[in-house]
């Protein structure tokens, strides 16, 4: 049946940080729609250039473009046994498209951890986020600093601040989350798939909670 985990929660809740750890533990890919868009942007593809305006404002990229990109990714051979989805779905229409794509393969979403963090904490986290240009490792100047300032612990790459991690764009991303993405909480709750996790705990404690959630889901 495979393991299909949808990491739900506001921007900055720690979905990516946790998804990377879980993916390593379960030996399945971590698929982040934001990372896929940033990869396109780096390669200056048509899709990347289209996405840029939405990302810079903190608005959602249109569903058809986003769904096409993610469904193609999870259709590849390395995703047949499962995947940790992070940042997708973000609208009800994306969630329905995901269900459709999985059911065509005789599969379905296994569990949806909802990582909860209050808005004020999120603004603090995201404005202090730094990302490795080379390997994508995620740091935080306050909560999870690298050993050497500006340098990735994992690969020695240069750390940078995402263009959309400024206070104004973060506020719009939070607004967008509450308006467009929070209806997914009810959607997955109704399917019996939603499990809340306290995202304010330390990174290791959140990871331990998620492991329990996955064990309870039978994985």
Which residue in the set 45, 80, 134, 172 belongs to the binding site for Zn ion (CB under 5 A)? 134
According to CB under 5 A, which one of 6, 122, 126, 132 is a site residue for Zn ion? 132
Give me the residue label for tokens 């780096």: 42
Residue 155, binding choice from Zn ion, ligand ADP, none, Cβ under 5 to 8 Å by partner class: Zn ion
Q: What is the C-alpha to C-alpha distance for residues 120 and 112, in angstroms, rounded to an integer?
A: 24
Q: Residues 136 to 155: which contact Zn ion by CB under 5 A?
A: 137, 152, 154-155
Contact partner, 134, from ligand ADP, Zn ion, none, Cβ < 5-8 Å per class: Zn ion
Among the listed residues 170, 148, 169, the one whose alpha carbon sits nearest the alpha carbon of residue 159 = 148
Pick what 88 binds: ligand ADP, Zn ion, none; C-beta below 5 to 8 Å, kind-dependent.
ligand ADP
Q: What angle do CA 116, 117, 123 make, to 5 degrees?
A: 145
Is 211 designated active site? Answer: no
Rounded Cα distance, 94 and 128, in Å: 30
Whole-angstrom distance, CA of residue 122 vs CA of residue 10: 8
CA distances to 13, 56, 133 from 163, in Å: 18, 7, 13
Examine the residue annotation and report whether 191 is marked as an active-site residue of this protein: no
Catalytic (active site) residue 130? no
Q: What is the number of other CB atoms lying within 10 angstroms of the CB of residue 26? A: 18
- For residue 131, the tally of other CB atoms under 10 A from its CB is 21
Q: Examine the residue annotation and report whether 15 is marked as an active-site residue of this protein.
A: yes
Pick what 13 binds: Zn ion, ligand ADP, none; C-beta below 5 to 8 Å, kind-dependent. Answer: ligand ADP
Q: What is the contact surface with ligand ADP in residues (CB under 6 A)?
A: 11-17, 33-34, 37, 54-55, 58-61, 66, 87-88, 90, 94, 125-126, 129, 138-140, 143-144, 164, 173, 202-203, 206
Binding site for Zn ion (CB under 5 A): 132, 134-135, 137, 152, 154-155, 157
Residues labelled as active-site residues = 15, 90, 129, 162, 173
């Amino acid at each position: 049946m495979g393991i299909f985990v949808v990491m739900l929660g506001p921007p900055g809740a720690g979905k990516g940080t946790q998804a990377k750890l879980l993916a390593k533990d379960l030996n399945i890919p971590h698929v982040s729609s934001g990372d896929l868009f940033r990869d396109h942007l780096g390669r200056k593809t048509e899709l990347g250039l289209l996405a840029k305006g939405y990302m810079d404002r903190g608005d959602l990229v249109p569903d058809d473009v986003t769904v096409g990109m993610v469904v193609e990714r999870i259709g590849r051979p390395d995703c047949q046994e499962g995947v940790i989805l992070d940042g997708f779905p973000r609208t009800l229409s994306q969630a329905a498209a995901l269900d459709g794509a999985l059911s065509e393969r005789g599969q379905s979403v296994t569990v949806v951890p909802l990582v909860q963090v209050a808005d004020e904490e999120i603004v603090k986290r995201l404005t202090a986020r730094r990302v490795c240009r080379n390997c994508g490792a995620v740091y935080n100047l306050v909560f999870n600093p690298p050993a050497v300032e500006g340098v990735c612990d994992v690969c020695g790459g240069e750390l940078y601040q995402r263009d959309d991690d400024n206070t104004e764009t973060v506020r719009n991303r939070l607004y967008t989350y509450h308006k467009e993405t929070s209806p997914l909480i009810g959607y997955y709750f109704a399917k019996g798939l939603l499990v809340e996790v306290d995202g304010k705990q330390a990174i290791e404690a959140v990871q331990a909670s998620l492991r329990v959630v996955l064990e309870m889901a039978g994985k």
